[in-house]
Amino acid sequence: MAVTAPNPSSSSFSSSRSCSSSKESTTIVLPVRDYDLAATLDSGQAFRWRPAGHTWSGVVGRRWVRLTQVAGGIHAETAEPVADWQWLRDYLQTEVDLDVVLKLFPDDEPMRSAIAACRGLRVLRQDPWECLASFILSSNKQIVQIRQIIALLCERFGEPLNLPPTAIHPTTGGNTGSFCFPTPQCIVAATEAGLRACKMGFRAPHLLAAARRIADGQWDLERPRYLPLAEARAELMYLAGVGGKIADCVLLFAYGFDSAFPVDVWVERALRRLYFQRRRPTAKHLRSFAATHFGPHAGYAQQYLFHYMRTKLK
DNA sequence: AGCCAGGCTTGGT
DNA sequence: ACCAAGCATGGC
């Protein structure tokens, strides 16, 4: 199995990027090619993005953001002026050269089809806590329901955010997506009943327990970054409510382990259908196949299979 | 091992 | 139209 530590350069806080003389602004165009914004924001890796036409509004960290795919890049708008946009480049991973990733995919028919269908799909680099909490809440839920739970959680327990007047929706009253994702400290201050009221059911005690461990310092959100994949995975699985699949999601979507390969039902279906036809591999066999077959960017390949299966193969 | 725990979507009838 | 199955995890 490839044990690939996160590539520091792809989460770079590039020292060459001077911001000493940069002006503050509420808009920017991040230049990028090979980027399918809609596929990326709507492929089950993040749950707070809302489409309105061809623009997407959401929250990254403590900032409300509206994104639009434009010729040559991604147009971004924030509510408050920004001097240094590196946080958004990191989140969207616009500095990753997709060609390099796709060239290392296995050269087989299923991957060629998936690339043809989803080219431009990216893996985001999300905040570890939001990602961990979101995927604890994802267990045994479908994407629409996960979005609902997280929207309720943010409205009820997250800090309100500033919005530009243009973001106020005339019919809904406009506070959708205008809350921070609640910090561990916010969650700790909640009760299990209050969390259950966000429709998360049996996941409530898991979320609360994880928040407590993190808030009181027993579990360090930064530690997995510096561990080999297998150890980082074990750390995550030490938390209640985090099994192998959810651990792999957090490793891939937050910590940048490109070789982490989450296998959910959709990916399992894709693997069975595209690589195993009518045979019946065990889950263990599928995992070992995935670990050896898809190379250093297996997680990226997984995202392509996932999106391809959901949007094109059904 | 097999069942249960929210609740919403999907698929079969 | 209805009703069962699926979903990913941990605890019993």
Residues linked to residue A82 through DSSP beta bridges, in sequence order: A25
pTM for the model? 0.91
Chain C footprint positions (protein CB, under 7 Å): 6-11
Q: What is the pLDDT of residues A105-114, one digit of tens each?
A: 999 999 999 9
C1' nearest to CA of A264: which nucleotide?
Answer: C8
pLDDT at A172 over 70: no
Backbone dihedral region of A81: left (phi > 0), alpha (psi from -120 to 50 degrees) or beta? beta
Residues linked to residue A175 through DSSP beta bridges, in sequence order: none
**CB within 7 A of strand C: which residues qualify?**
A 138-142, 202, 206, 237, 239-247, 264-265
* Protein CA at A268 to nucleotide C1' at B13, angstroms: 27
User: What pLDDT, on the 0 to 100 scale, is given for residue A129?
Assistant: 97
Q: How far is CA A270 from CA A15, A108, A192, A301, in A?
A: 41, 14, 37, 11
Instruction: Tell the burial category of A21 from Cβ atoms under 10 Å away from its Cβ (0-12, 13-18, 19+).
Output: exposed
pLDDT at A174 over 60: no
User: What pLDDT, on the 0 to 100 scale, is given for residue A4?
Assistant: 45
How many Å apart are CA A98 and CA A102, to the nearest integer? Answer: 6
* Protein CA at A25 to nucleotide C1' at B5, angstroms: 49
